[in-house]
Structure 1
């Protein structure tokens, strides 16, 4: 079982300055190593994809920078720039890893046809997290955590770490309202499936924009629309930022207030997702959901509402919590769940604006979302049986 706990840090003024300085130096190193990757790409790319058989000259390719070759240069970096000695060596080694993930994801898009955005250089204040890949549990005691090269920092403990869990990694993050530490935890003794798991206790859920979820038992949770409700405050905070002179302290304060407003919306949404997932998992052992193309929907005219609902985050939270509880979440093919009749299977084509499902064959009439959730449950049951037979 893997999970993570996040706590708020209360660093002293000196410790906060060390964290800020560490993030800034790591940002410079990230940009430098990303530039090395771009240089290699530009020097080795070629617009010619074919040549004659008579004359063909291919230039010798230069070695591609990778995570390990860039990590090897860090020793010389500390000699040339001694101030980098104030950063823990393993924290510094995590930067090439981040660069490699971002760069490889971009290059991989050309091979798969799924283009992702070109990695960007980090501006001031945009590099916000650094990680200790190894951490001893005894360095986190009571309400204090010892971070190498920073010191012993006070932590606000809102829940205790279970004794059976091992701390694998520790990440420090700077957010709009302060500093946070995230502990990645693991307990190998927790069973993957709980002993009294009941495969027949299954539910299908259909996510939407009017009702956040509609279950196959006809339970509904209205979409909270946190962003829509906060738009007025966000617009006001954004106007204050745009009216301040660039580079001024007043603009920095206005940006910080805007960031806090956005964080409040994100935190409220995340809390709602956790509570909704917890409510479902207390009642059901198996939850069937649609495998939606959320990125595609987020580019449509419904983009704002889709992003406000946060379906991707909710399904991710639901899946992780189910695994930790020894339960299951099954993703099924969403094609036709709204169009097929849940009673007789007849396809009833209807536009998105039509909210009722009326079948001409069996004369059934019910809510479109309820019809979809019943179909999702049926497909989830079929997929669960197929999994059990194959295993």
Structure 2
């Protein structure tokens, strides 16, 4: 099992200066290696599917990859001695980031989805570096020992569980200071409960009126942290816009704006963690819809969808359930709001209709509650039939590939 623990660092002035120096050197090297990749790509690619009979061929060279660029690092430290302050594995991790960014641009991920063209890092845009390995026991009280950086203080508010080993450490500069993210690993993995043996399953329907409605009738309201902070954010944003670019006042305003946005994001994330914990404390299986959140974020409901943070919440819920040996099931969202959870027949409704009233069996319930019950039925394998459908087998369940639209 792998988890990540984040702690705030209390750096001295000299340590802050050293971290900033590392980030700037790594930024230069990242841009240089990325430019080397682009140069090879432009010189060796052909804009059409065939070449003319007579053409000028430049001096070809091997495609720069992770291993060839990593071999240049010893010579880099000889030609530019100031790079010797960097720990060798931190510099190698910079090469790895360039490799991942360029591969995502050309080849894409495991699903074939390509990312955008990598961009060069401007000033203050390279914000983190990673130590791929640490000593056996790097933490002593509230002191963390890092290679070449030495001993740094941190707010050790959450002890590392017994049996876990610290694998990597990532130093990150944020709006309100510096943080370290420790990646910890434990070889023991809790056994997952079989779906057939769950004792207290629940279905949840994500919404904008309430964050979620459970199949037992309870609901969790949306705190709307961003909307409540909009007035203050607008005031700070005006100060940023009115200040002169490059001035000290603008830098102060930008820092203040970053802290305000981070406070909203942190508060929302804390709420999501607590909500997920409460769900998993009471239920051993949680069923939810697999929604096309990116598609919904491009509609008129974008601000409300992003303020609710469905994607972050479902990701946290899935990770916490996996670590606890519990189950989360994403089901096909099709007709979960239209079908009657009592008789299974389809009852067409518009988005403004918030009450489900079935003319076939007389069942009346809140629209979201009816959808949550349908989601639970799909997860445990019971059929939910529509009026026009005569299929006798379940429409969804564990192992089924969920649809992306509702």
Output the TM-score relative to the length of structure 1: 0.92
CA offsets per residue over residues 125-155 of structure 1, 9 Å max, x none? Answer: 1111111111123221111011112121111
1:14-53 aligned at under 5 Å gives the runs: 14-49=14-49
Pair 194,188 (structure 1): closer, same or farther in 2 beyond 3 Å: farther
Matched-pair contact (CA < 8 Å) for 1:128–1:175: yes
Once residues 358 and 54 of structure 2 are traced to their aligned partners in structure 1, the CA distance between those partners, rounded to angstroms, is 67
Shift in Å at residue 184 of structure 1? 0.7
Q: Quick check: 1:245 aligned with 2:244?
A: yes
SS, match of residue 241 in structure 1: helix
CA offsets per residue over residues 89-118 of structure 1, 9 Å max, x none? Answer: 001101121122222222235997745332
38-47 or 216-225, larger mean C-alpha shift:
38-47
CA offsets per residue over residues 337-375 of structure 1, 9 Å max, x none? Answer: 112221222223322222222223223222221111111
Matched-pair contact (CA < 8 Å) for 1:192–1:323: no
Pair 294,364 (structure 1): closer, same or farther in 2 beyond 3 Å: same
Matched-pair contact (CA < 8 Å) for 2:134–2:146: no
CA offsets per residue over residues 241-291 of structure 1, 9 Å max, x none? Answer: 112211111111111111100000000000000000000000000111111
Shift in Å at residue 194 of structure 1? 6.7
Match of 1:3 in 2: 3
1:188-337 aligned at under 5 Å gives the runs: 188-193=187-192, 198-337=197-336
Q: Which runs of 5 or more structure 2 residues have no equivalent in the other structure?
A: 382-395, 401-406
Shift in Å at residue 236 of structure 1? 0.9
SS, match of residue 221 in structure 1: strand
Q: Quick check: 1:379 aligned with 2:404?
A: no
264-273 or 317-326, larger mean C-alpha shift:
317-326
Once residues 13 and 194 of structure 1 are traced to their aligned partners in structure 2, the CA distance between those partners, rounded to angstroms, is 50
Shift in Å at residue 234 of structure 1? 0.7
Pair 100,188 (structure 1): closer, same or farther in 2 beyond 3 Å: same
Match of 1:134 in 2: 133
Once residues 97 and 39 of structure 1 are traced to their aligned partners in structure 2, the CA distance between those partners, rounded to angstroms, is 18
Matched-pair contact (CA < 8 Å) for 1:67–1:100: yes
Matched-pair contact (CA < 8 Å) for 2:134–2:147: no
Matched-pair contact (CA < 8 Å) for 2:331–2:397: no
CA offsets per residue over residues 29-84 of structure 1, 9 Å max, x none? Answer: 112222222222222332323579xx598969753322212111111111121111
Once residues 73 and 41 of structure 1 are traced to their aligned partners in structure 2, the CA distance between those partners, rounded to angstroms, is 19
Pair 110,374 (structure 1): closer, same or farther in 2 beyond 3 Å: closer
Matched-pair contact (CA < 8 Å) for 1:24–1:127: yes
Q: Which has the higher helix share?
A: 1
Once residues 64 and 352 of structure 1 are traced to their aligned partners in structure 2, the CA distance between those partners, rounded to angstroms, is 54
Pair 350,102 (structure 1): closer, same or farther in 2 beyond 3 Å: farther
Moved over 4 A (4+): 55-62, 109-115, 383-387
Matched-pair contact (CA < 8 Å) for 1:355–1:367: yes
Once residues 151 and 194 of structure 1 are traced to their aligned partners in structure 2, the CA distance between those partners, rounded to angstroms, is 44
SS, match of residue 138 in structure 1: coil
Matched-pair contact (CA < 8 Å) for 1:226–1:269: yes
1:73-84 aligned at under 5 Å gives the runs: 73-84=72-83
CA offsets per residue over residues 2-26 of structure 1, 9 Å max, x none? Answer: 2111111101100010111111111
**Matched residues, number:** 385
Match of 1:150 in 2: 149
Pair 110,154 (structure 1): closer, same or farther in 2 beyond 3 Å: closer
117-126 or 356-365, larger mean C-alpha shift:
356-365
Output the TM-score relative to the length of structure 2: 0.88
Pair 292,210 (structure 1): closer, same or farther in 2 beyond 3 Å: same
Once residues 270 and 161 of structure 1 are traced to their aligned partners in structure 2, the CA distance between those partners, rounded to angstroms, is 21
SS, match of residue 189 in structure 1: coil
SS, match of residue 181 in structure 2: strand
Greater RCO, CA 8 A, separation 6+: 1
SS, match of residue 360 in structure 2: coil
Once residues 59 and 351 of structure 1 are traced to their aligned partners in structure 2, the CA distance between those partners, rounded to angstroms, is 63
